[in-house]
């Protein structure tokens, strides 16, 4: 006769109909209830590993093109605002300044000569006016003598012709003076530098001097100089020649799924772990939440009004301001990080049962 084992009663109970029902229905139900409770009672903390350390960075672009003649700082060297960083070759720009100075001198000379010509023409008109007055008086005398038959008719015609020439000369001289006056802007009494040609030449000279000054490129803010060009390389106006990375303000940009941001508000506490320092934790605060998703800022936004549209969960940038600590290691722009936000005392049950946010 076989000996009974201690597990025999338990196996016997499971072999009963109620035991099988408990095993088939009760155990899955209990697991489901526990899973629902565990999931529904969570939701206070949200996290993402799509986060990166950010710093203020300025891409410095020259305002004139040229070849790099000098690099005054080393790569990754701290700089102060206004500190010279690059010097470009200025040979052509110095020539441009000399040419602008020569054009300014020429413009001033033209104005001075125009004023002198205007005064000269005014004097010629005065002389011609007196000559015309004399011709008219002479014509009157000759007319009286001709009426008395004391002079021949040819003498009277000659006097008449001289009078017409004198009067016509005045008209011609006045037209010439009007042309000179127009070149002087309608008023010959202005200062030389107030005339339009001189102002244009002055502006060209000032622009040439500004372009020459732009061959010395300085740091616009304090920070670390990065991506410096080499001596002899070409830099173009409007294209970044180097960058200044701020060594002060540091924050983290975390890109959360849009479905995780229901309870996120500015001011909430944040824990940040940077991949470079796995044993160190940073604390911070939610500073702001972007007003648009990352895809809205992309160069080619998605065209969702098409027949092949597929819904994709969007990412929304959240800016986290770090609270500096005494023993914090240095952070660099672009480092990867993990971010956990404490969204406050609530659970997913609050959403399911329609509780207020």
* 13 lies in some domain: no
Q: Can you tell me the mean pLDDT for 279-308?
A: 84
pLDDT at 39: 62
| Residues 255, 49 contacting (CB under 8 angstroms) | no
Instruction: Quickly list DSSP for 51-119.
Output: EEEEEEEEEE--SS-EEEEEE-S-TT-EE-TT-EEEEE--HHHHHHHHHHHHHHHHHHHHHHHHHHHHH
pLDDT at residue 251 tops 60: yes
Residues 101 and 201 in one domain: yes
Q: Give pLDDT tens digits for 260-290.
A: 888 899 999 999 999 999 989 999 999 999 9
Q: Give pLDDT tens digits for 32-67.
A: 777 766 665 556 888 999 999 999 899 999 999 999
Residues 278 and 332 in one domain: yes
pLDDT at residue 258 tops 70: yes
Residues 174 and 321 in one domain: no
Q: Give pLDDT tens digits for 96-133.
A: 999 999 999 999 999 999 989 988 888 988 888 888 88
pLDDT at residue 1 tops 50: no
Please give the residue that has the higher pLDDT: either 226 or 307.
226
- CA dist., res. 353 & res. 169, Å (int): 106
**Residue 91 — pLDDT band, cuts 50, 70, 90?**
very high
| Residues 287, 319 contacting (CB under 8 angstroms) | yes
Instruction: Supply the DSSP symbol for 16.
Output: S
Residues 79 and 98 in one domain: no
- CA dist., res. 188 & res. 176, Å (int): 14
Residues 179 and 144 in one domain: yes
Residues 352 and 339 in one domain: yes
- CA dist., res. 287 & res. 322, Å (int): 9
List C-alpha distances in Å: 65 to 98, 145, 241: 19, 84, 10
pLDDT at 190: 87
Q: Can you tell me the mean pLDDT for 230-234?
A: 94
Residues 193 and 331 in one domain: no
Pairing of the two strands 234-235 and 66-71? antiparallel
For residue 160, what are the contacts with CB-CB under 8 A and spacing of at least 6? 139
Query: Of the ranges 103-117, 240-254, 338-352, which one carries the lowest mean pLDDT score?
Result: 338-352
- CA dist., res. 87 & res. 213, Å (int): 10
Residues 231 and 85 in one domain: yes
62 beta partners: none
Q: Give pLDDT tens digits for 311-339.
A: 888 999 999 999 888 888 999 999 999 99
Mean pLDDT taken over the chain: 85
* 51 lies in some domain: yes
CATH number, domain of 252, equals: 2.40.30.170
Residues 357 and 252 in one domain: yes
Residues 196 and 111 in one domain: yes
Residues 101 and 182 in one domain: yes
List C-alpha distances in Å: 294 to 258, 306, 322, 335: 11, 20, 22, 19
Q: Please state the pTM of the whole predicted model.
A: 0.68
CATH number, domain of 77, equals: 2.40.50.100
Nearest Cα to Cα of residue 44 among 338, 354, 350 = 350
Pairing of the two strands 269-274 and 242-257? unpaired
DSSP element (H, E) containing 335: none
Most confident stretch, 113-127, 222-236, 336-350? 222-236
- Exposed/middle/buried for 205, CB within 10 Å: 0-12, 13-18, 19+? buried
- How many domains in the chain? 3
Residue 269: domain span: 42-55+248-297+313-357
Nearest Cα to Cα of residue 217 among 341, 2, 65, 49 = 65
* 110 lies in some domain: yes
Q: Can you tell me the mean pLDDT for 234-257?
A: 92
* 14 lies in some domain: no
- Exposed/middle/buried for 31, CB within 10 Å: 0-12, 13-18, 19+? exposed
Q: Give pLDDT tens digits for 155-200.
A: 877 888 888 888 888 889 889 888 888 888 888 888 888 999 999 9
* 261 lies in some domain: yes
* 5 lies in some domain: no
Residues 177 and 226 in one domain: no
* 187 lies in some domain: yes
* 9 lies in some domain: no
């Amino acid at each position: 006769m076989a000996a009974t084992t201690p597990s025999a009663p338990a196996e016997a109970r499971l072999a009963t109909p109620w035991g099988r029902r408990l095993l088939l229905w009760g155990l899955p139900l209990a697991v489901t209830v526990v899973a629902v409770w565990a999931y529904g009672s969570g939701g206070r903390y949200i996290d993402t590993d799509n986060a990166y350390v950010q710093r203020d960075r300025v891409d410095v672009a020259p305002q004139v093109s040229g070849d790099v003649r000098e690099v005054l700082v080393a790569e990754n060297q701290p700089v102060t605002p206004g500190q010279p960083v690059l010097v470009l070759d200025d040979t052509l720009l110095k020539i441009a300044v000399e040419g602008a100075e020569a054009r300014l001198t020429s413009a001033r000379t033209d104005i001075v000569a125009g004023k002198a010509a205007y005064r000269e023409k005014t004097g010629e008109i005065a002389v011609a006016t007196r000559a015309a007055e004399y011709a008219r008086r002479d014509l009157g005398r000759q007319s009286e003598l001709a009426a008395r038959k004391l002079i021949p008719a040819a003498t009277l015609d000659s006097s008449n012709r001289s009078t017409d020439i004198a009067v016509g000369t005045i008209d011609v001289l006045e037209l010439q003076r009007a042309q000179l006056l127009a070149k002087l802007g309608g008023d010959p009494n202005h200062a030389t530098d107030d005339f339009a040609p001189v102002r244009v030449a002055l502006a060209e000279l000032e622009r040439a001097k500004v372009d020459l000054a732009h061959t010395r490129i300085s740091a616009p803010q304090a920070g670390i100089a990065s991506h410096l060009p080499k001596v002899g390389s070409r830099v173009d106006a409007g294209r970044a020649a180097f960058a200044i990375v701020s060594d002060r303000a540091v924050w983290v940009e975390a890109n959360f799924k849009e479905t995780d941001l229901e309870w996120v508000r500015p001011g909430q506490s944040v824990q940040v772990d940077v991949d470079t320092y796995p044993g160190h934790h940073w604390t911070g605060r939610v500073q702001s939440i972007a007003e648009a998703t990352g895809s809205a800022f992309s160069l080619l936004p998605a065209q969702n009004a098409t027949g092949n549209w597929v819904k994709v969960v969007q990412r929304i940038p959240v800016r986290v301001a770090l609270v500096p600590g005494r023993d914090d290691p240095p952070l660099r722009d672009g480092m990867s990080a993990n971010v956990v936000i404490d969204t406050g005392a609530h659970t997913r049950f609050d959403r399911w049962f329609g509780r207020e946010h």
